Amino acid sequence: MKLSNLLEALPSFELLSHQSAASNEITSVVYSSREVTQDALFVAVVGFHTDGHFFIADALSKGATAIVGTNRAKLENYLDSAKDIAFILVEDERTALAHLTACLHDYPAQKLGVIGVTGTDGKTTTTFLISALLDAACLSNGLMGTVDFKIGSRRWSNATRQTTPEAAEVQSLLSQMVTENIRYAILESTSHALALRKLVDCFYDIAVLTNITHEHLEFHDTFENYRLAKSQLFSYLNEGSSKPFLSFPKTAIVNADDPHAGIFREAAGDKPQHLTYGIKNRADVFATDIYASVTSLEYTLNTPKGLIPLKLKLAGDFNVYNSLAAASVGLVLGISLEQIKAGLESVSGVPGRMEVIEEGQPFSVIVDYAHTPESLAKVLNILRPLTSSKLIVVFGSAGERDRAKRPMQGAIAATHADFAVFTNEDPRLEDENFILDEIAAGAETNGWHNGQQFLKIPDRRTAIEAAFSRAKAGDTVLLAGKGHEQSIIIGTEKVPWDERDAARAAIKKFIA
């Protein structure tokens, strides 16, 4: 594509170089100089640890013929030495990256039904369930999320440690879905991704809210900013009209039991239709006759189309909400209750979500991704009545992330568990012992003492072994915070780590 055509995607820009540079042919849009090939357009993204403007020379040496950035002085430094190169000044390079990559791929989201799911907890499970009920209705779909990427029958692990990849990858994946005749795209839409404009030009048709609780204040500074970032998903429903190939109007789906639901409905406005789900408050889609165990969930799904009983292979009553959200999407798409039932009941679990580890040990072991105060409390509350003896929990809190939640998590352990081991969960460059001290402070305010009700063991493998060494028949050990992840970040290194494998190895060590 000629650069001049590509630049039409930007609402505003300034071409600093000679006008003739606008006729340069562009073959790709990239934000990493490592990815630059001949005739690439390089977007100098200002990141948290480095600045893409420092890599302009590297991009030029590899064949880039256009550079987009926000720093006028740094762009102008190259005008005399790179006369045939286009240098484009923009106000927001991340938005520009999204617009340019969407344009280069011919706006793939315009050719798909796009379903976005946001919230603090439950996004991954909800997207898995939506995909399953679409499969049951023979509606081809793709998925981008924390655990997996999926395009039709192809599924592969998301090893990036980012729920939502950068805009360039998002648009590339959407383009692949269009090429493979996929009908619906399901996107986990995080607050980070929305705030960093990764999901611009995704042209959402359905927006889903799971819930909003305390999380990611290290990035958003305030809870209000966090909530505002997530509500942007619902604001996107106001952009453009309904796609002609879809048989339903744009729709905002919110959890009627969440205290912040009204803010998200307000963000959506009156243009889209609204649908609510819940258990406690009045809702369009709701559950009755709920029975939950550590391995299953049963309830009656109540909808405007009628009632149907569900028997899910999911643990925890919070999955009532996740499945209600997914069922609500199915109703909007016109999927029958029988197909919704078949899809929801086909899901045997989500990796790292209330996953039972069984190696013949006399105590129960559960691996879960719970890493927020709210989700940790929920899981412990589920396991408490199902545990005949002691409830033991192993968890940590991420370094260089929300510090305010650390004592909250410690207090939750002291309130809902009998014993805890505080350990590493991606300490990054932060002092691991300082993190554990902050968690422990919350436990101590609730009457716990180090060495009695809790231990502080930075090495996660050793922490798991310490928990198992104390576990007896009838006890439950919850390993929280890592879930499906395949690495633990210590310093700047991603050390290979699989919580499930570590648990199995530790169990075998004790029962050998």
> Model confidence over 373-428: pLDDT tens digits?
988 998 999 899 889 999 999 999 999 888 989 999 999 999 999 999 999 999 99
Q: Go through the chain and tell me how many residues it has.
A: 512
DSSP state, residue 197: T
For the chain, the 3-state helix, strand and coil shares in percent, each to the nearest 5, are 40, 25, 40
Does the pLDDT value for residue 511 go beyond 70? yes
pLDDT digits (tens, 9 = 90+) for 91-113: 999 999 999 999 999 999 999 99
Task: Identify the pLDDT of residue 235.
Answer: 95
How do residues 278-326 score in pLDDT, each as one tens digit? 999 999 999 999 998 777 899 999 999 999 999 999 877 789 999 999 9
CATH H superfamily, domain 355-511: Mur ligase, C-terminal domain (3.90.190.20)
Tell me how far CA of residue 360 lies from CA of 294, 356, 364, 509, in angstroms. 17, 12, 10, 12
* Among the listed residues 382, 456, 379, the one whose alpha carbon sits nearest the alpha carbon of residue 419: 456
Backbone phi, then psi, for 95, in 5-degree steps? -65, -40
- pLDDT tens per residue across span 213-257: 865 555 556 878 888 889 999 999 998 889 999 999 999 999 999
Question: Three-state DSSP class for 199?
Answer: coil
Q: Is 33 annotated as a binding residue?
A: yes
Give the DSSP H or E segment for 67: strand 66-69
Q: Is 125 annotated as a binding residue?
A: yes
Contact 448, 407 (CB under 8 A): no
Would the annotation count 120 as a binding residue? yes
Q: Is 163 a known ligand-binding residue?
A: yes
What local confidence, expressed as pLDDT, does residue 240 receive? 83
Enter the pTM of the model.
0.82
Going by their DSSP bridges, the two strands 113-118 and 206-209 should be labelled as: parallel
On whether 101 is known to bind a ligand per the annotation, the reply is: no
Q: Which ranges of 180-251 does DSSP label H, i.e. alpha helix?
A: 191-195, 217-220, 223-235
CA angle 373/375/379 to nearest 5° reads 120
Is the domain spanning 109-282+317-339 CATH 3.50.50.60? The answer is no
Q: d(Cα 223, Cα 187) in Å, to the nearest integer?
A: 23
Per-residue pLDDT, 316: 77
Q: Is residue 162 annotated as involved in ligand binding?
A: yes
Mean pLDDT of 6-29: 94
Q: Is 123 annotated as a binding residue?
A: yes
Domain boundaries in the chain?
3-103, 109-282+317-339, 355-511
Strand partners, 350: 353
Ligand-binding site membership of 119 (annotated): yes
Q: Round to whole Å and give the CA distance between 216 and 424.
A: 18
Q: Does the annotation place 122 within a ligand binding site? A: yes
- Asked if residues 133 and 340 have their Cβ atoms less than 8 Å apart, the reply is yes
Q: Tell me if 121 is assigned to a ligand binding site.
A: yes
pLDDT band, very low/low/confident/very high, at 131 (cuts 50, 70, 90): very high
| Domain 3-103 coded CATH 3.40.1390.10 | yes
